[in-house]
């Protein structure tokens, strides 16, 4: 089979579509964090993991196709799409450039949104810990593991109980 630029366009479109689905999941996750729906945020984390795997597979397929195109046109195997634009028809060059730009833009958005969600979750955990410390200062135990991660546990000292008024 002779590699065709249309196959590359299709691969780029498929990859972009999956990045769009990933963005949707990250947006939904952020909404769940804002409304303090931990169950939904956790479910979306699982969906996000699957979506990342799917996008990675499509990216790998696109890279293989790009290498086949480079090989077919007797270019170095590591030639990227932008560097091989002269082998594509003029009408395809603009489309390929637009798809590449859109993918790069989407990846930047995904990184930013992922970072935002991580910060929101971290801040939510900090606020929860502070609230627990206010309610039961003697009951919150913070420990560090060998790799530097933090674990916060609620300990119940012997003979100590919270009672409701009334």
Helix 5-34 crosses helix 90-135 at what angle (to 10 degrees)? 20
Q: Domain range holding 142?
A: 5-154
Looking at the domain assignment, is residue 165 inside a domain? no
**What is d(CA 51, CA 106) in angstroms, rounded to the nearest whole number?**
14
DSSP reduced 3-state for 144: strand
Residues of the chain with pLDDT under 50: 158-159
Burial class, 129, CB count within 10 angstroms (exposed 0-12 / middle 13-18 / buried 19+): middle
CATH of the domain at 43: 1.20.58
Q: What secondary structure, in 3-state letters, does 69-120 show? A: HHHHCCCCCCCCCHHHHHHCCHHHHHHHHHHHHHHHHHHHHHHHHHHHHHHH
Looking at the domain assignment, is residue 65 inside a domain? yes
Looking at the domain assignment, is residue 145 inside a domain? yes
Q: Report the pLDDT value the prediction gives residue 158, as an integer from 0 to 100.
A: 46
Q: Report the pLDDT value the prediction gives residue 48, as an integer from 0 to 100.
A: 96
Looking at the domain assignment, is residue 100 inside a domain? yes
Q: Report the pLDDT value the prediction gives residue 110, as an integer from 0 to 100.
A: 97
Q: Total structural domains in the chain?
A: 1
DSSP annotation of 152 reads E
């Amino acid at each position: 089979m002779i590699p065709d630029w249309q196959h590359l366009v299709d691969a780029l479109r498929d990859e972009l579509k999956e990045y769009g689905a990933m963005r949707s999941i990250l947006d939904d996750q952020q909404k769940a964090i804002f409304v303090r729906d931990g169950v939904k945020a956790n479910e979306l984390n699982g969906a996000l993991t699957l979506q990342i795997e799917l996008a990675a597979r499509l990216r790998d397929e696109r890279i293989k196709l790009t290498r086949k195109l480079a090989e077919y046109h007797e270019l170095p195997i590591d030639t990227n799409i932008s560097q091989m634009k002269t082998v594509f028809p003029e009408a395809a060059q603009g489309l390929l450039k637009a798809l590449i730009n859109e993918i790069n833009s989407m990846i930047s958005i995904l990184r930013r949104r992922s970072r935002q969600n991580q910060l929101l979750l971290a801040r939510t955990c900090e606020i929860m810990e502070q609230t627990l410390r206010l309610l039961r200062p003697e009951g919150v135990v913070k420990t560090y593991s060998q790799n530097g991660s933090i674990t916060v546990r609620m300990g119940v000292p012997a003979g100590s109980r919270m009672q409701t008024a009334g």
